[in-house]
Structure 1
Amino acid sequence: MKKIIKGLLLGVSLLLLTSCQGQTTEKQPLPTTNRKEETGKIVSTGRVDEAEYQAVMIDGKYEISQARTLSASYLNSHYNLANFESGLLTLSKENYSVDSYLFREGQLLDKQTIMNWLDRKSKDNPTGLNPESEGEPLVVQQVLEQDYLDKKTQKLAGISLGIAVNQVDYSQDPARNIDQETALTVGKQAAQTVIEHLRQIEAGANVPITVGIFEQATKDDIAGGAYLLKGMTKGSEVTKWTEVKEEYITLPVPEGETNSATKDGISNKYRDFKEMVQGFFPNLSGFSAIAHYQDKKLDKMVIKIETKYYSETEIISFTQFVGKNLLSSLNIPGEIEVQINSIEGPQAFIVKKANENTISSHIFN
């Protein structure tokens, strides 16, 4: 139950973040690059989910990143923000085991350095990662650092970098499309610059660095963007980039489109489930779903239902109906999460874990 409440609170907190795509031109001197590891007493948060990292606390306090507000400020939607951060965690687990490493918010890259990178290259800003000419679109939209400490030594033993590139540049009117090949080329170059910077910092000089290049979706896409490439450093460069086979798909898929959700029939199953629920409970103001695929296989589906039911009995009846029919109508192998909300806030939460035929639910009083 703690896991369920934790997941819902995370989703609610993300919805409260303000998203925009403004760029700043403020310049300040770059910081020195001899930053060392923290020397305070390290403890972990513990965990309620064995699939997730324990996080680091220094001297009894959670360490926040110096650049903690940038992702929310620069990415164009909370959907992109959620996928950017959680996707990098997923890539990290391939190289840093949750049982052997502790998670720490990025501590080596400071806010001003990242802001300078995200601006255009110029005489006043020679480190800018975006094209100097105003006639060219802004490609690099965000840089995210995550740190991983060895559980036994409690020393920094791995870094993960997320480089977010744009599919559309909204900084000028009209907005400009960016072809994927160009975005990935610029993203790789940006990754190389950030890696070289980290190698100049004492704490980051020798640790392995996992890198992912994330394509930000358009601002009206409720599925959000996804990682396209991943790599691992060998020395001070990534010698091999590998495709990340990941998709976030809005359901149901429009007629005429083809993707993983149409090929495996999930889109049609969801459409039938949605129509059946709406048939019995017509007083709904919203009904949407996002399917997450990895390697062409459904990993998780998140369904959000907005209701106009307010009495306790209405909410209980509706939750029981949805939960029961979830098993019969959406009998799929991946995890399913249903968030039931009203204009006043969350009302109920239902979860079916992957490859299981039982559900868990919670109704908020």
Structure 2
Amino acid sequence: MKKKLLMVLTASFLVLTACAPNFGEQEEIVQETEDESKEQAIIPKYNISDSYYKMILPFKQGEARGLVAEQLNTRLDIDEFETGLMRVAQESFSPDNYLYQEGQYLKGEDISSWLQRKKVGNEKIEAQEAAKNKDKNTTGADEKYVEVGLNPALDEGNGQSLTELHTKNPIYLSHILEHDYLIRKDDTVELGGVVIGLAMNSVHYYQEEHGYPREYKIETKELLAQGKQMAEVILKRVRSTKGLEKVPIVFAIYKQEEKSSIVPGNFVAKANVKEGSNILEKWEDIDEDYYFFPSDEATNDYRDDAQMFNRFKQDVEEFFPNYTGVIGKAFYKNGELNYLDIEIPMQFYGKAEVIAFTQFVTGKVMEYFPDYISLEVNVMSTTGQEAVIIKEPNQEEPTVHIYK
């Protein structure tokens, strides 16, 4: 939400002054890289907010760049998995002391191989032969072949139907994401911590014998148990990666939503690994969740908040005849409403209508919603966004922008 606020303020400034905003001076430092070389880097003085990390420049693309988009079900999950992992990181690596960098150590090809099923039958024999042929000095295939897939094998040679095989052996692990956090020491920065996110499927999709699409729902307890076991294996592999032998690590498990979901999934557990340790400490539950307003689920779990949203929605309906719907996406942390994004699609016939409607909605925002939450209202039309209203916790007046 704060990112959108920056975009709005920047756009307004450009319109008024026709010149680029000044982001302040930049600080040059020396960065120690994963291959132990050193290179010049820049720390920008300007930061969007205290809840974001400064990102070291020039920006380095992650080694596994692009994989997250291939492996996760929806754009909502793609965004939440990455930004939510930063939120988890803040509890161990404060933005006051650490800089963010995309993962530079775990290679994309390695992560892709870890996401595969374990090999069985002819597939395993072929992999063993391939490994043997790669090194002519190897006397036995098993001496060279190493199983790296973390998802369970799908052994089709035991007489079970495909449905039985898939429901007993679903694909649990969808993606692995590495974030690096750099810490400053005098005029240099070096790796100070790593966060590893494991995206787990809550639904396994497959096709039965006749090609019909099917799905198997995975209980949270089941995916958590699998994720914790996989984290133990991944930790050993991470510790054998050059540059990550001793660094503090945080593992976080993310529950991905089904493909048809209109809200993203959420992180459900995390565990720390101390500097130089090869042991995962006790797993801690993460109490986060997203809800769609209006919905039966939101009404059942958070009745007061659902009624508050419905009253706001009803006032909008009564004010404007061309109303087409008000929807909201709420984020809850530790059982408390943390922020709410509202979208209002309308049909407008003039800028005066947009101004009047935005003024009305702003008043209702101040009337209905508590001061302790972050809130954003986007007013949309068939031609694009017409206005945005942003209210931060304990902010006396909201930020309002009407697009020209």
Q: How does 1:119-134 map to 2 (within 5 A)?
A: 119-122=116-119, 123=124, 124=127, 126-133=147-154
Counterpart of 1:281? 320
The residue matched to 2:39 in structure 1 has which SS? coil
Q: Secondary structure at the match of 1:204?
A: coil
In structure 1, give the amino acid aligned to 2:60. Answer: E
Aligned to 2:335: 296
Q: 2:296 aligns with which of 240, 254, 258?
A: 254
User: Residues of 1 paired with 2:270 and 2:221: CA distance?
Assistant: 15
> 1:249-292 CA deviation, whole Å, 9 max, x = no partner?
11123179532x22xx1111001101211221232334211111
Structure 2 portions without partners, runs of 5+: 10-32, 128-145, 155-164, 208-212
2:226, 2:376 → 1: CA distance? 36
Residues 295, 40 of structure 1: alpha-carbon distance in 2 compared, 3 angstrom cutoff? same
Separation in 2 of the partners of 1:255 and 1:240?
31
Say if 1:214 and 1:227, in contact at 8 Å, map to a contact too: yes
* In 1, Cα distance between equivalents of 2:7 and 2:147: 41
Counterpart position of 1:227: 267
Q: In structure 1, what is the Cα distance between the partners aligned to 2:336 and 2:311?
A: 20
Which digits, 9 at most, give the CA deviation of each residue in 1:156-212, with x for residues without a partner? 010011101111012432111112222111111222222222211221111100111
Corresponding residue for residue 344 of structure 2: 305
Q: Distance in 2 between matches of 1:36 and 1:42?
A: 16
Alignment match of 1:149 (pick from 170, 182, 196): 182
**Quick one: distance in 1 between partners of 2:289 and 2:382?**
30
Which runs of 4 or more aligned residues in structure 1 lie more than 6 Å from their structure 2 counterparts after TM superposition?
none
Report the Cα distance in structure 2 between the residues aligned to 1:343 and 1:65, rounded to whole angstroms: 37
Mapping 1:60-99, distance limit 5 Å: 61-99=58-96
1:293 is paired with a residue whose SS is strand
* TM superposition score normalised by structure 1: 0.85
Quote the Cα distance in structure 2 between the aligned partners of 1:51 and 1:257. Answer: 30
Structure 1: which amino acid aligns with 2:326? Answer: F
Specify the SS of the correspondent of 1:142: strand
- CA-atom RMSD, angstroms? 2.3
**In 1: Cα distance, 2:65 partner to 2:36 partner:** 19
Q: Percent identity?
A: 31
- Alpha-carbon contact 2:8-2:401 (below 8 Å) kept: no
Matched residue, 2:28: none
Structure 1 portions without partners, runs of 5+: 10-33
1:1-365 equivalent positions in 2, closer than 5 A: 3-6=3-6, 36-37=35-36, 39-45=38-44, 46-57=46-57, 61-122=58-119, 123=124, 124=127, 126-133=147-154, 135=166, 136-152=169-185, 153-172=188-207, 173-234=213-274, 235-254=277-296, 258-259=300-301, 261-262=302-303, 265-309=304-348, 311-365=350-404
Distance in 1 (alpha carbons) for counterparts of 2:87 and 2:242: 26
Q: C-alpha displacement at 1:51, in angstroms? A: 2.3
For 2:323 and 2:191, the matched residues in 1 are separated by 49
SS in structure 1 of the partner of residue 260 of structure 2:
coil
